Amino acid sequence: MTRSIITAAAQVGPIARADSRAQVVDRLIALLREAHARGAELVVFPELTLTTFFPRWHMTDPTEISAFFETAMPGPQTQRLFDVARDLRVGFYLGYAELAEEDGLQHRFNTSVLVDRAGKMVGKYRKIHLPGYDAPQPERTSQHLEKYYFEPGNLGFPVWRTMGAVMGMCICNDRRWPETYRVMALQGAEMILVGYNTPDDHTGNFDFDSLTGFHNQLSLQAGAYQNSAWVVATAKAGLEEGSRLIGQSMIVAPSGQVVAMATSTSDEVVVARCDLDMAALYRRTIFDLARHREPQHYGLIVERKGPVPPPEDAQP
């Protein structure tokens, strides 16, 4: 009997700055219901999926900024999403802006939570790799100010045994860094869930930006294959407040194959059965981290901080 979990990427189209939480949660519930109708047991929503991608603007008014953050999860505006998911017995990943009070101080994180099929909170992740800048860049038409609005995550990359699998979470830019997947794979992760908001003009260099979709897919497929894990990646997509966010929500197998991908940049559900034994097979053969990965032999690389110096007698 193979272990599997039917999973959905619930892509969310543009969210306008003026859209209320209620309007957005209505859309998330509709996506969740569609995913359930198509057999999904787990649904992955995007990063910062309750509001427009506000780090594209520089705001200074604390009240204006706080309006984009949640002080509780679930809170009054999101409780009904949790209730519907519990009633339908569907687990989910939800990305949002978190205003947390810790050691008497307020902290702001770019956060995701994982909720199981009984509606129980499984775990929380706070985004570690924050792209962009901590101050407006004068030459940019649209800003990318995640370092201004959020602190780097302080929870590491935990993984949890839940819903019949070992699952981990990351957020958006994390997916571009190989250590993100490896740190979770070394803890036994079989499924890695990620939401993203990815504008197609991030660097302002068209040679790079024209490859945004390719780099998205490359990062996800490499992460999945090189770590023998399923990767479920969900976009906030579309033309959102003048910013073009790529779609391409996708479900990638441990083989690196894309088994389902969104074809729109709107609200769209893609579903696939994730065979967890496939991850185990790759982990037992090609990517047996215990047998084939010999970190003690990497020591020389780690100790060396730069190129090997030329031999003494090298001719100038």
Positions touching ligand ING (CB under 6 A) are: 131, 172-173, 176, 196-198, 202, 212
Catalytic residue status for 303? no
DSSP bridge partners of 234: 195
What does the angle CA 2 – CA 250 – CA 203 come to, to the nearest 5 degrees?
Answer: 145
Q: Pick the closer one to ligand ING by CB: 110 or 162.
A: 110
Taking the least distance from each CB to ligand ING, the nearer of 10 and 163 is 10
- Give the shortest CB-173-to-ligand ING separation in angstroms: 3
CB 149 within 8 A of CB 108: yes
Catalytic site includes residue 127: yes
What gap in Å lies between CA 82 and CA 61, rounded to an integer? Answer: 31
Q: 277's torsion region: left (phi>0), alpha (psi -120 to 50) or beta? A: alpha
CB 170 → ligand ING: shortest distance, Å?
10
Nearer to ligand ING, 163 or 235 (CB): 235
**Least distance (Å) from ligand ING to the CB of residue 305?**
26
- Residue 245 and residue 204 in contact, taking contact as beta carbons nearer than 8 Å: no
Q: Catalytic: which of 41, 47, 70, 190?
A: 47
Angle between helices 21-37 and 79-88 (to 10 degrees): 10
| Least distance between ligand ING and beta carbon 70 (Å) | 17
* Cα 94 from Cα 180, distance rounded (Å): 19
For ligand ING, the closer CB: 74 or 131 = 131
| Nearest CB to ligand ING, comparing residues 39 and 242 | 242
212 phi and psi angles, rounded to 5 deg: -55, -45
CB of residue 33 to ligand ING, shortest distance in Å: 27
The closest of 120, 119, 48 to 85, measured between CA atoms, is 119
Tell me which of 41, 146, 170, 172 is the catalytic residue: 172
Query: How is residue 168 written in tokens?
Result: 């981990």
Which among 41, 127, 236, 240 is annotated as catalytic? 127
**Residues with a known catalytic role:** 47, 127, 172
